[in-house]
Chains A and B, each alone.
Chain A
Amino acid sequence: MKNEMSDEELQQLLDGASPSHRLPFISQPENDDVTTYQHLFTALKQSPPGSLSPNFSASVVNQIQLQQQRATNRRFYGVLSTLFLIGLALSVAWGGLLDFRSSQLVLQTLDQAKSWLFFGLGCLLIIQLLDHQLIKKRMRLLH
C-alpha cells in the first residue's frame, strides 16, 4: 500500500526529527519527497556564508567607549562654557558696580565684535562637524 503523505504532514514530521532521522513508518522507502525534505532541513540548519570579524566584540565595545567619551567631553565643554559665560556676566556686573564706565566699555567692545565672535564660533562648529564626518568615514573604512 502506498503511504502518500502531504507536504504539511512531512514538514511536521521532520520538524520533530533530527536531520538524519529515518522515518520507518513510511512504507515507500524511496520516497523522493522525504529525501528532498531531509536535504532541505539539513541545508536550512547550515550557517549562511561569511562571518563577523574575529575582533567584532572588541570593536563594538570600542565604539561604545568612544561614544561615551564623546558624550562626557560634550558635557564637560558644556559645563565649562556655561561657567565661563556666568563668570563673564558676573564680572561685568561686578565691574559695573565698581566702575560703571569701564564696564560699559567692555559691553560696547563685545557688542562691536559680536559678528566676528559669531563668525568664529560658526567656523569652529563647521570644522568640528567636518572632523566628525572624517573620523566616521575612516572608522567605516577600517572595518
Chain B
Amino acid sequence: MMEERELVQWILAGNTNAFGHLVRQYEKLVFYVIRRLVTEQQDVEDICQEVFIKVYKNLSSFAFEAKLSTWIARIAYLTAVNYVKKSERHQTIPMSETLEFTDEEQDGPAQLLVQRDVSTYVNQLIEQLPLPYRTVLTLYHLNEFSCEEIEQITGMPEGTVKSYLFRARKQLKDKLTTYLKNER
C-alpha cells in the first residue's frame, strides 16, 4: 500500500516514468478485462490505452479508499461497458441478458477436431456468454478479485456476483461435459 502511495505521489508530481511503471504493473489486469468484454479484438489495444489515459487524468481524485487495482479495474470495466453499449447501439443489437448460448452448432465433429484444447474451447464459450457473466468470471478467476471487490468494481450486489459466478460456471460445465464426452 505504501509503495502504491509513493508511486501515485511520483506520478502526481509529473513523473511520467513512474506512470510507465504503473502501466506495466497493471496492463495485464486491464487487458484481461477489455479482452474478455469487448468482442472487436482490433480495438482492444486502443481501449486499453484509453483506460490508462483516464487513470492518469483522474489519479488526483484517487483517495486510497480502495486498492489501486480495484480502482483501475473499475475504470476498465466502465470503459468496456460504455464501448460495448455504443457498439451494440451502432449494430442495433440489444445487450443480451439471456442465459442461453447462441445456437450455433459448434459441437459438430469437424469443430471438435479443431477445438481439442479445453482452454480454447472454454475461451470460445466465454465469448458467447452474456456480458455480466463474462465480467464476473474474468474478474474472479483471471484477475483474482474477491466477490466483495467485484461488487466495488461493477456495482453489482455481492449476492448477484455470486449468483452470476455460479450460473456461468454451471453453464460452462454443462457444455464442457458434452464436449469431453464427444472427445472420448
Contact = CB atoms under 8 A, between A and B. Distances in A.
Interface stretch (B79-87, B88-96, B98-106, B171-179): B171-179
Contacts of B31: 51-52
A36 B121 CA distance: 13
A11 interface: yes
A58 B52 CA distance: 12
A64 B16 contact: yes
B32 A140 contact: no
Interface residues of A, number: 35
B49 A40 contact: no
B118 A43 contact: yes
B169 interface: yes
Given A53-B45, A63-B49, A8 B166 contact: yes
A57 B142 contact: no
Interface in B14-42: 16-17, 19-21, 23-24, 27-28, 31-32, 35-36, 41
Interface string A44-64: 111111111100111111011
A37 B176 CA distance: 9
B53 interface: yes
Interface in A61-109: 61, 63-65, 67
Contact of A11 (B44, B52, B137, B166): B166
A33 interface: yes
Given A39-B118, A48-B36, A57 B27 contact: yes
A57 B172 contact: no
Contacts of A57: 20-21, 23-24, 27
Contact of B27 (A8, A47, A56): A56
Interface string A1-36: 000000110010000000000000000000011011
Interface of A: 7-8, 11, 32-33, 35-37, 39-53, 56-61, 63-65, 67, 140, 143
6 contacts: A43-B119, A44-B142, A48-B36, A49-B123, A51-B31, A56-B27
